Amino acid sequence: MAASLVTDDSPESRNKLFKDAFRIDAVRAAEDKDALKAHKPVIGKPLQYPNSAATKASIEEHMRDARRQLGLGVVWDHFNKKVPEWTECFKLMKRMTPQWSERANMSAVRIVLPKSWDLEVNNQNLEYVDSATGVLQKLRAAVDKNPSAIVLRGQSKILVKVADEIVRYCKEAEIYELGEVATSDYRTRQLWPTIENAPNGGASLPDDHNDNIWVHKEYQPHLITMPYEDIPRPEVWTRDNFEHYIASLVYGRLPSHLAIPFYGQRRINGRNIDTDGIRIKLIVDAFEDPAARPFITVPVLRMAVSMMTFRGGHRASANRLVQLAEEWGIPMDTDIYNIMLEGYAHKRDIGFFYGFLRKMQARYFHPNIRTWLLFLQLIRGEDERRQVIVAMYELGMFNHAATRRGIADVMASLDSYAAFKAGRTLKGFLADQKERYGEDWLATDGLNDIITELLRFHRTEDPRIGDCKKLVKIHTDAGRRIDLKTINIFLRHSALTRDWDTALWAMSLFKEAGCEPDQETYTALMSLSVRTRSPHALGTVYFYGVLHRKLKKASRQMLSKVLLGTHHDTFWRTWEHQPGIFPKDAIPDLELNKIPRFFAVMSRIERVILDRWVGYVPIKPLERSLELAYRSNDKPMHHQLRAGKPIKVQDLVVKLRRVDGQEGNINVRLLGRFDPFRMIENWVEPEPRQDQESSWVDPDESEMERKPKKESESTTHEAQSLLPPERQPDEPSSDASPSAGTPAS
């Protein structure tokens, strides 16, 4: 696909190139048949469901994949390179991977020669001639941080002969065995000379020599309240403080609301702030400090690379760290390369995936099971995936339960789609998977994919929610936890189907899962509240989201349409149906200091809430307060509306506690509604929109009651103003107005 590309090499020009490449619209993408055919193994094909909405979602997902691949093609073309076909990558993987039974025969040794020896060996293949037999054998040599040392990789029996001959000619040489996984330093296995008073015949370190063992540490993500540059950087590096400094940058995250105060200066591209780029630069600077080089270990390197490889344009920095680590002689393993490959698989970039495999090949590293699973994840075509699985079987990888479980994870979506499309029940499908992949095949990622497929097959006449709940119970009864992604899948589906029962059930899983709502959770819940005409639930979700600072742009836009009377659903254009989002005593301040521009409405409202309750958080979890708001307020409100009665429900109260644990809990009554006429300067009420009809269906209404409304009934609310009915424009504001259908307190 051709694109108008800039030719200069300035950063702004390159950024424009990358942005334009991925802005290919769906129509243009669909028209480029040749390109779509070429990318088919990586993008798969759209799936057909009995549910039209699910089919549409599958097509949209397919087109997003297509646009991504076409965009990558444009970028590669700009650099006069071509995206390799999947078969090239597949053939390379098979060439690089030995039979699993032969892997035990592969090994690596580190040979340290006297400093007087003049040794110039770069990363390259070597030929070794056995002095006894004259047989030529191939080895792989790699540089080491010690200029008189090399690392040799090859078959174990050959390396033994090489070591014997080196010791024969140089008694001063030191030889160390290297493991497949770099969990310890070079002295963990010393083969020559033997260590006195050491176990294992002198080949292992004594018990008191434990300072060279790299112990795995679990760090937890946490929020920081200072600029990344202010994180203390030690003046003198040690192994412990280097690891601590890198961990602080990797796991410490700046909250979004502090980004502008710390980094809000104007930039070329506006106020978009790449805070990840700031901390990644600090990480790279620390690694490149010559004084820190002796203290760089594989776990710290893995920690840094794992963070960078999933940060968009910063994979190049991760690649550079890997390259520098090789040059410095840090013992590498396949797991380090897999971290980089996982980033490329995540972004569906087969070009870089192939290039990094070539780098592995050049350094004599073999793909392991994880590498093959990442390749399987990268490929989306069903036939192509089957070929990859056959290759894994032929290489002897199916003897490991981890292989079968990993394949089941990746294939869960296609397997479940094929089964449910053919009419298989959940019980039958689970039996098929057990026979196909063995016991304990179901992991969290596979669970999420199967739930997604079940929900896409869900219809009123063929409900699948019960099957989803059974599947979750099977998973948790086996002692495994679900994750936040699982809950969010249910919440997004509930928003689409206006299903409060499923949403409340899904939120009841938070405690068991040991997780908290995130931005995606709040977006789904706000969508559910708006689509089901639940103002009290909407006010509750918004209030919690503001206090916890977990609202995305999409969430704010949804509420903005409701507050400004521009939502296409006429229900929200009536004053009595507006959500209560703050207490009534906050209204005078907003009316006295009006908002100058309508696009500053949401930020101003959030500032009012945050300034008033800084240092406070809700006592009850979101799921409990939301259930009360919906069942005690919104459901009775809809019953009253259907009966033609005046709205009269309980006040919406949120209890807050101090974050510091001190006494001073308060009750907040969300009775204050936003009044654009009183709170925005020069407000002009928008014209009622009639181009979009509301497709709202009352979730509590029976099928017999769901009759099509007459035209006069469907537009009843359009004639009603968003202004409070009890006030004319020239009247002063009063606390007598009820809030979102609640009596005044």
| DSSP letter string, 671-736 | -BPP-HHHHBTT--PPPPP-SS------TTS-GGG--PPPHHHHTGGGGS-SS-TT--TTSPP-TT
Predicted local distance difference test score (pLDDT) of residue 146: 59
pLDDT at residue 62 is higher than 80: yes
- CA distances for 376 relative to 348, 352, 390, angstroms: 11, 15, 11
Q: Cβ distance 168 to 192 under 8 Å?
A: no
* Amino acid identity for residue 723 in this structure: L
Q: How confident is the model at residue 427 (pLDDT cuts 50, 70, 90)?
A: very high
Instruction: Determine phi and psi for 130, rounding to 5 degrees.
Output: -65, 120
Q: Cβ distance 349 to 12 under 8 Å?
A: no
Alpha-carbon distance of 560 to 564, in angstroms, equals 6
Q: Cβ distance 86 to 41 under 8 Å?
A: yes
Q: How confident is the model at residue 295 (pLDDT cuts 50, 70, 90)?
A: very high
Look over the chain and give the mean of its residue pLDDT values, rounded to a whole number.
80
- Overall average pLDDT of the 342-363 stretch: 90
- Overall average pLDDT of the 182-198 stretch: 40
The pLDDT tens digits of the residues spanning 380-397 come to 999 999 999 999 999 988
Predicted local distance difference test score (pLDDT) of residue 32: 66
Within the chain, how many helices (H) and strands (E) appear?
A: 32, 11
Q: How confident is the model at residue 190 (pLDDT cuts 50, 70, 90)?
A: very low
pLDDT at residue 697 is higher than 60: no
Predicted local distance difference test score (pLDDT) of residue 338: 93
Q: How confident is the model at residue 311 (pLDDT cuts 50, 70, 90)?
A: confident
Q: Which regions of 180-230 does DSSP assign to beta strands (E)?
A: 190-192, 222-223
In this structure, the number of other CB atoms found within 10 A of the CB of residue 179 comes to 13
- Overall average pLDDT of the 556-582 stretch: 92
- Overall average pLDDT of the 659-671 stretch: 88
Q: How confident is the model at residue 272 (pLDDT cuts 50, 70, 90)?
A: low
pLDDT at residue 183 is higher than 50: no
Predicted local distance difference test score (pLDDT) of residue 370: 92
- Overall average pLDDT of the 135-154 stretch: 62
Residue 491's nearest CA partner among 483, 499, 479 is 499
- Overall average pLDDT of the 506-535 stretch: 95
pLDDT at residue 156 is higher than 60: yes
Q: How confident is the model at residue 411 (pLDDT cuts 50, 70, 90)?
A: very high
Alpha-carbon distance of 655 to 625, in angstroms, equals 9
pLDDT at residue 206 is higher than 70: no
The pLDDT tens digits of the residues spanning 21-45 come to 777 665 566 666 676 677 788 888 8
- Overall average pLDDT of the 627-640 stretch: 94
| Domain boundaries of the chain, sorted by first residue | 11-83, 95-202, 400-515, 519-719
Comparison of pLDDT for 77 and 495, the residue scoring more? 495
The pLDDT tens digits of the residues spanning 314-339 come to 888 999 999 898 888 787 878 889 99
The pLDDT tens digits of the residues spanning 730-742 come to 333 333 333 333 3
Alpha carbon dihedral 23, 3, 84, 364, in 10-degree steps, equals -80
- Overall average pLDDT of the 593-621 stretch: 90
The pLDDT tens digits of the residues spanning 224-270 come to 989 999 999 999 999 999 999 999 999 998 888 888 888 876 555 54
Alpha-carbon distance of 37 to 438, in angstroms, equals 35
Q: At what angle do helices 519-531 and 500-507 cross, to 10 degrees?
A: 160
SS3 249: helix
Predicted local distance difference test score (pLDDT) of residue 202: 39
Using a pLDDT cut of 70, give the percent of the chain over it: 75
- Overall average pLDDT of the 541-560 stretch: 94
Predicted local distance difference test score (pLDDT) of residue 687: 67
Whole-prediction pTM? 0.80
Comparison of pLDDT for 355 and 713, the residue scoring more? 355
Place of tokens 């007598």: 736
Using a pLDDT cut of 90, give the percent of the chain over it: 43
229-243 burial, b at 16+ Cβ within 10 Å, e below that, comes to: eeeebeeebeeebbb
Alpha-carbon distance of 526 to 537, in angstroms, equals 8
- Read off the tokens for 3: 């694109």
Q: Which helix (H) or strand (E) holds 140?
A: strand 136-143
- CA distances for 394 relative to 94, 101, 125, 389, angstroms: 10, 11, 27, 9
pLDDT at residue 421 is higher than 90: yes
Residue 571's nearest CA partner among 708, 701, 705, 715 is 715
Q: How confident is the model at residue 169 (pLDDT cuts 50, 70, 90)?
A: confident
Place of tokens 């349409």: 561
Among 167-181, 293-307, 606-620, name the one with the lowest average pLDDT: 167-181
Predicted local distance difference test score (pLDDT) of residue 140: 58
* Amino acid identity for residue 745 in this structure: S
Predicted local distance difference test score (pLDDT) of residue 103: 67
